[in-house]
Amino acid sequence: MTDESHPPAARDRGTLLKPKLSPTEKGARFFFLVCAISALGQMLLIMVFLFTEAGRLFVSLDGEKGVSLGEFFLSQDWYPTYPSPSYGALALVAGSLSVTLLSILLAGPLGVGLAIYLSSMAGRRSREWLKPAIELLASIPSVVLGFVGMVAIAPFLQNALGLPSGLNILNASLFLAVMATPTVASLGEDALSAVPQSVQDASYALGATHWETIWKVILPASLSGLSTAVILGLGRALGETIVVLMVAGGAAQIPLSLFDSARPLTSTLAAEMGETAIGSAHYHALFALGAVLFVLTLAFNLLAHYLGKYWRRKA
């Protein structure tokens, strides 16, 4: 039935088929497109507002000299309300990083352990109610956690260890870990469960024990997802505000021991933004801290994204 007198090479590639859209349909699609673009727009808008307000700190305004970038990033003196104020963010960044890293040292192993338990060890029934329970625990309001840290753990630490105050980076990291663990566990569980059953069966069939299968087959195969889970947990801890505001102690210094007080970026914002005049240098300095925080969390998110991709490509 093919027409041999009509050789394929001579034929054109045809016209592109497209669904025809009526005016209402075009209108509907346009509306939804606008909604979708608004998400992107919002991201851009956040950046524009954050960086414009932050930028004003560094330029001269009303005859006052702007703060230098060097002072902002390298000085540890955060004295925004002094007669001759200084706006050094170093101690605050150090405060943020120290509580975040400490908390992930706890939440990483705990969360991954919980994820392994859920995906490979728990029975079907306990898994069925544990998963939603963890999701539920992730929604405990941070102010409640911070409150428990203040009224229960701080006095306990103070008495048990003979400290001047129980509000310190140890206490803060404990509660940040409580916040981050469910995130790590539920993302990690997704990653572990994505390892095909057939691969696990192959390992069992070769005489591996349950643990050997987990350790040598499941974990390596899901490393990308697990590292993403841990980094996203890290991001959540870094951005958490109220817990650290309530229990980290609030001293703008570089913490040198577990029992030192710290003033992370987020708690500085929450504590001082309400007290400052809109448009003052202090106000812009706080936006500059917000910008630093934004860049740090964005970096973590992108890292998680690319690490996930990198491991996937390697696998």
Partner 1 sequence: MLEAQKGFGRQRRYREQKLAFLAIRLAAGLSLGVMAAIIIYIVVNGVPALSWAFLTEFPRDNMSAGGIFPAIVGTVLLAVGALLTALPLGFGAAIYLAEYARPGPLVTAIRLGVANLAGVPSVVFGLFGLSLFVTTLGFGRSLLSGSLTLGLLILPTVTAAAEEALRQTPASFREAALALGANRWQAIRQVVLPAALPGMLTGAILALGRAAGETAPIVFTASAAYTLLLPDSIYREVMALPTHILNLATNSVHIEATRPQQFGSALVLLVLVLGLSTFAIVVRAKLRRGRQW
Partner 2 sequence: MVAEPQTIIEARNVDFYYGDFHALKNVSINIAAQEVTAMIGPSGCGKSTFLKLLNRMNDFTPGARLAGEIFISGASIYGPDADPVDIRRRVGMVFQRPNPFAKSIYDNICYGPRLVGIRKPQDLDVLVEKALRAAALWDEVKDILSKSAMELSGGQQQRVCVARALALEPEILLMDEPTSALDPIATAKVEEWIKNANLTIVIVTHNMQQAARISDRTAFFFMGELVEFGPTMELFTRPQETQTENYITGRFG
Name the residue nearer to partner 1 (CB basis): 25 or 201. 25
Q: Which of residues 113-172 bind partner 1 (CB under 8 A)?
A: 113-114, 116-118, 121, 130, 132-148, 150-152
DSSP letter (8 states) at residue 209 = -
Task: Decide which of partner 2, partner 1, none touches 94; Cβ closer than 5 to 8 Å per partner kind.
Answer: none
Mark 238-277 with x for binding to partner 1 (rule: CB under 8 A) and - for no binding: xxxxx--xx-------------------x--xx--xx---
Task: Decide which of partner 2, partner 1, none touches 37; Cβ closer than 5 to 8 Å per partner kind.
Answer: partner 1
Residues touching partner 1: how many (CB under 8 A)? 92
Task: Decide which of partner 2, partner 1, none touches 2; Cβ closer than 5 to 8 Å per partner kind.
Answer: partner 2
The distance of closest approach from Cβ of residue 15 to partner 2 in the complex, given in angstroms and rounded to an integer, is: 6
The distance of closest approach from Cβ of residue 175 to partner 2 in the complex, given in angstroms and rounded to an integer, is: 45
The distance of closest approach from Cβ of residue 69 to partner 1 in the complex, given in angstroms and rounded to an integer, is: 20
Q: Are 87 and 72 in contact (CB under 8 A)?
A: yes
Task: Decide which of partner 2, partner 1, none touches 11; Cβ closer than 5 to 8 Å per partner kind.
Answer: partner 2
CA distance 262 to 268: 10
The distance of closest approach from Cβ of residue 256 to partner 2 in the complex, given in angstroms and rounded to an integer, is: 59
Q: Which of residues 51-110 bind partner 1 (CB under 8 A)?
A: 53, 109-110
The distance of closest approach from Cβ of residue 264 to partner 1 in the complex, given in angstroms and rounded to an integer, is: 10
The distance of closest approach from Cβ of residue 87 to partner 1 in the complex, given in angstroms and rounded to an integer, is: 16
CA distance 225 to 227: 6
CA distance 281 to 242: 24
Name the residue nearer to partner 1 (CB basis): 179 or 221. 179
Kindly state the tokens that stand for 258.
């577990």
Mark 1-40 with x for binding to partner 2 (rule: CB under 8 A) and - for no binding: xxx--x-x--xxxxxxxxxx--------------------
What 296-302 contacts at long range (C-beta under 8 Å, 24+ apart), as own/partner pairs, is 296/96, 296/238, 297/235, 297/238, 297/239, 300/231, 300/232, 300/234, 300/235, 300/238, 301/231, 301/232, 301/235
What DSSP string runs through 230-276?
Answer: HHHHHHHHHH--HHHHHHSB---S---STT--B--HHHHHHHHGGGS
Name the residue nearer to partner 1 (CB basis): 38 or 68. 38
The distance of closest approach from Cβ of residue 60 to partner 1 in the complex, given in angstroms and rounded to an integer, is: 21
CA distance 230 to 308: 11
Kindly state the tokens that stand for 26.
């075009």
How large is the C-alpha radius of gyration of the chain? 26
Name the residue nearer to partner 1 (CB basis): 43 or 199. 43
Q: Which of residues 8-47 bind partner 1 (CB under 8 A)?
A: 19, 21-22, 24-25, 28-29, 31-40, 42-46
Q: Residue 61: helix, strand or coil by DSSP?
A: strand
Q: Are 82 and 95 in contact (CB under 8 A)?
A: no
Residues 210, 216, 309, 312: which binds partner 1 (CB under 8 A)?
A: 210
CA dihedral 248, 249, 250, 253 (to 10 degrees): -90
Question: Interface with partner 2 by CB under 8 A: which residues?
Answer: 1-3, 6, 8, 11-20
